[in-house]
Amino acid sequence: MPTAYDLLVIGDANPDVIVGPLTEPLAFGQREQLTDTGSLVIGGSAAIMACGAARLGLRVAFAGRVGDDDAGRYIRDALTARGVDTHALTLDPDRATPLTVVLNRGEDRAILTSPGTLTTTGGHDVPAGLLAASRHVHAASYFLQPRLADDLPELLRTARAHGATTSLDTQDDPSGRWDGAALDAVLAETDILLPNAREAARLAGGANSPAAAAALLAARVPLVAVKNGAEGALCHDGRTLMRAESIAVTPRDTVGAGDSFDAGFIAATLRRQPPHEALRFAAVCGALSTRAHGGTAAQPTRDEVLAHLSPTGAPTS
């Protein structure tokens, strides 16, 4: 089968209810607290990344599972409206669509998720034809989808056998275990690992800096790109540590910024940009995505990103 997609994204998709900012601690006891904003938007690391990549001009397909309910149909229609092929998004008649509530407070946030179909999403949701027809395969939210986690090594191995490259953004591990042996099997089939600084430290076994974590992880995968918020980002290819600064923006909401970074890094890599240029491009994607509430509303086009880069590829303020 000829290549039909630049990118296949596998993983989580759900509505996010984003509320905030909280100006005081969250109160129980049936107290009502008011916030300035609240919105219902596309959520899920994989879904936000897919939207960001489509916004950057990639041909994107999505494989995963949501409930056959209003929330699931909302997600399917919202992804389709943003240019993502959803033919492999299964509507499950027996499980509800996952739902996430995000509570913002300053630069921090609390995240509450009802798993729903996340527990049943697996390799059976990924058509073999899509693995054969995609230049790159990205998986997200590894720790939230146990069945998919078990199937990922074989899925990524199959994609690579067809000539695709692969990437993984694990996101957080709610259990706090950061499974070693099981994750090793996935990393063995991963070309690019895309954690944030906190996740990188945990995945690396408690490294004391993002740079140290990147170096340790680069011994396990060919390329590691670490997102570090306002400090920018860094990547390591096993030999060289590279850094990129962020750009000056006034953030309204940082939800999904890391997923937009992922989209930018993969888009640049598929355009054959070297890692240091892909890192700069991705850092701008992540920063620009914070200009509006929700993970997808302010995701940039490629032209918008290039307008914030100097002729040498360095971010400009």
Q: Give the start-to-end residue ranges of the domains of the chain.
A: 5-13+43-98+116-307
pTM: 0.94
Are the C-beta atoms of residues 194 and 265 closer than 8 Å to each other? yes
Residue 1 has pLDDT above 50, yes or no: no
pLDDT at 313: 60
Query: What value does the mean pLDDT take over residues 69-89?
Result: 98
pLDDT at 305: 97
Query: What value does the mean pLDDT take over residues 76-105?
Result: 96
* Model confidence pLDDT, tens digit, residues 121-150: 999 999 999 999 999 999 999 999 999 999
Overall size of the chain counted in residues: 317
Residue 22 has pLDDT above 80, yes or no: yes
DSSP assignment of 65-120 equals: EEESSHHHHHHHHHHHHTTEEEEEEEEESSSPPPEEEEEEETTEEEEEEE-GGGGT
Query: What value does the mean pLDDT take over residues 286-292?
Result: 94
The CATH classification number of 5-13+43-98+116-307 equals: 3.40.1190.20
Buried/exposed 262-272: b ≥16 CB within 10 Å, e otherwise: bbbbbbbbbee
Mean pLDDT of the chain: 94
Look up tokens 């630069």; give the residue.
107
36: exposed, middle or buried (C-beta count within 10 Å: 0-12, 13-18, 19+)?
exposed
DSSP code, position 209: S
